[in-house]
Amino acid sequence: MSKPPGTTTSGERLARVERERLMLRAAGEAFATHGFHGSSMDEIARAAGISKPMLYRYFDSKEGLYAAYLRMTGHDLIDKVRAPETRGQSPHERLRAGLRAFLTYVKEHRAGWTVLHGETAAPSDAQVAREIAELRGRIIRMLTTLFDDEAYAHAFTGAAESLATWWVNQPDPSTDEATALLMRIATQHQASIARPELSFSATRTPDEISPWRRGRSQRQSGSDDA
């Protein structure tokens, strides 16, 4: 007989922090699927295997639950991006590692990214807006340090967020290909302001071209030969 989500295999009650994350994960799936207004506390409580009153004891309201989920997701993302040990490496390699970590997080936590990016584009209330602005600001400060260009850090962050949202919904998304595309965007900018340590060679092999563009080029080549 299976145990309810709120208990361990030994039958002991989960620690508060573990139970809280269980509720937040259930909430995230609901918010990503149905949106904030389309999600019900009854359904979230049922998915988490706890009672609705317990859900309210932890988070006070659906708004409080939503804000807590965004906070957890944002902090998890920041931790993931910072995790690669790249001290002493070149800015190029530090950026590559951070982008790979970011895209890996998006791919492994689609529900969390769907909710987080939706709030980045259009925050639902003032509290959420402040949370998102702070989390996004931390990422931009990290990129500003790498690029030495705050304006470009903002532009690059927007490009990476937009690409990630499109990319993760493609069939079998490749982290390597998406990372390579973002690196080309970054290094082309760096080359334009004479930062050769971050520049790629101007000559690229077919394997270094975006697979989405490569497919288009191959189709065009086929039509030219006809």
Reported as a single tens digit per residue, the pLDDT across 74-105 is: 888 888 887 667 777 888 888 899 899 999 99
112: burial class by Cβ within 10 Å (0-12, 13-18, 19+)? buried
pLDDT level of residue 124 (50, 70, 90 thresholds): low
Domain boundaries of the chain, sorted by first residue = 63-194
Q: In whole angstroms, what separates CA 128 from the centre of its chain? A: 17
Percent share of the chain, pLDDT over 70: 74
Reported as a single tens digit per residue, the pLDDT across 103-118 is: 999 999 888 888 888 7
Of residues 106 and 216, more confidence is placed in 106
Q: Looking at residue 172, what DSSP letter applies?
A: S
Q: How far apart are CA 35 and CA 153, in angstroms?
A: 29
pLDDT level of residue 193 (50, 70, 90 thresholds): low
Nearest-10 crossing angle of helices 62-82, 52-59: 70
Q: Do 154 and 141 meet the contact criterion of CB atoms below 8 Å apart?
A: no
Reported as a single tens digit per residue, the pLDDT across 148-172 is: 889 999 999 999 999 999 998 898 8
In the predicted model, is pLDDT for residue 58 greater than 70? yes
Q: Looking at residue 197, what DSSP letter applies?
A: G
The token pair at 77 is 């993302």
* Fold of the 63-194 domain: Tetracycline Repressor; domain 2 (1.10.357)
In the predicted model, is pLDDT for residue 121 greater than 70? no
In the predicted model, is pLDDT for residue 22 greater than 60? yes
**pTM to 2 decimal places:** 0.69
Q: Do 30 and 44 meet the contact criterion of CB atoms below 8 Å apart?
A: yes
User: What is the CA angle 145-157-27, rounded to 5?
Assistant: 120
Helices (H) and strands (E) in the chain, counts: 10, 0
Q: Do 197 and 92 meet the contact criterion of CB atoms below 8 Å apart?
A: yes
Q: Note the pLDDT of residue 207.
A: 47
Under 8 Å CB-to-CB from 116, ≥6 apart: which residues?
70, 73, 74, 77, 132
